[in-house]
């Protein structure tokens, strides 16, 4: 039996948090990008969409003073399970309505967080507040998803992918992904189904939800960032920090600076 969950509720579900951590909890390939472009240690960092703390914890261990925000209470609860003396600060907050009275030396949005802002007004609000909260000479570091040409050309047809994860208790999780572009829009529709296959003493579970992400191309991201007062300094196409090539890469790692011009 498959349980379908509304997109606006999936992030508040403890089961989804455990599945997220199973897939990304130990992912560290993007850390060199942030470490390369962050200002000197002991500066202040704001992380948008901190999840369970996979980025915030190692950066705090490096000596940075990090504040992470997320809308998911279960993910924030998992992030706070940290015995370290110098733990990050966490807050439940919407990244389109950032409410801080201080500025930050750097603002980071890892692993396609900004792609989740599918309404132009929400993206502008987030970047406008980030511009306001970023100190002079501060840096904005982003990872963004760029749909490849093949997916764009499929015109609504779905691409299928799957992954298999082994859990510590011996059970398995099969993740199936259906991805398609929505014709005449900048949106990508993604359906994710998790098939949890437990041992014989537990019933299996299936979880499914569908959501949309923003599928801008590189030049569109450059334009929206410029309009909100940011200038791109460096663009990479993978975690080895190779220069971004539009025809080749679907990962876009951006280092941007706060411009003198105020956001529009």
**Which tens digits make up the pLDDT trace of 72-93?**
999 999 998 865 657 899 999 9
pLDDT number for residue 188: 96
For β-strands 89-92 and 65-70, DSSP reports them as parallel
Give the Cα separation of 23 and 73 in Å (integer). 19
Contact 181, 159 (CB under 8 A): no
pTM given for the model = 0.92
From 39-43, 147-151, 215-219, 228-232, the region with the lowest mean pLDDT? 39-43
For β-strands 44-48 and 65-70, DSSP reports them as parallel
Q: Which residues pair with 69 in a beta bridge?
A: 48, 91
Question: In the chain, what are the helix, strand and coil shares in percent, each to the nearest 5?
Answer: 25, 35, 40
**Closest residue by Cα to residue 232 from 250, 263, 252, 255:** 255
pLDDT number for residue 12: 60
């Amino acid at each position: 039996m498959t349980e379908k969950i509304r997109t606006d509720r999936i992030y508040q579900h403890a089961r989804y948090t455990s599945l997220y951590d199973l897939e990304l909890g130990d992912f560290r390939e993007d850390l060199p990008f942030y470490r390369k472009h962050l200002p000197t240690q002991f500066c202040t960092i704001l992380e948008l969409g901190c999840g369970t703390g996979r980025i915030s914890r190692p950066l705090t261990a490096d000596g940075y003073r990090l504040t992470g925000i997320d809308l998911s209470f279960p993910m924030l609860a998992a992030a706070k399970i940290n015995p370290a003396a110098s733990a990050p600060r966490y807050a439940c907050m919407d990244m389109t309505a950032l409410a801080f009275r201080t500025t930050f030396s750097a603002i980071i949005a890892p692993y396609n967080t900004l792609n989740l802002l599918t309404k132009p007004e929400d993206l502008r609000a987030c970047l406008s507040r980030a511009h306001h909260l970023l100190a002079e000479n501060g840096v904005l570091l982003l990872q963004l998803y760029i749909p490849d040409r093949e997916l764009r050309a499929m015109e609504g047809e779905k691409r299928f992918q799957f992954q298999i994860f082994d859990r510590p208790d011996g059970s398995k999780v099969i993740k199936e992904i259906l991805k398609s572009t929505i014709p005449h829009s900048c949106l990508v529709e993604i359906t994710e189904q998790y098939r949890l296959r437990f041992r014989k003493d537990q019933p299996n579970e299936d979880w499914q939800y569908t959501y949309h992400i923003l599928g801008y191309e590189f030049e569109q991201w450059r334009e929206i960032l410029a309009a909100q007062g940011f200038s791109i300094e460096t663009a990479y196409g993978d975690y080895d920090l190779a220069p971004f090539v539009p025809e080749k890469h679907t990962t876009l790692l951006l280092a941007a600076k706060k411009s003198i011009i105020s956001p529009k």
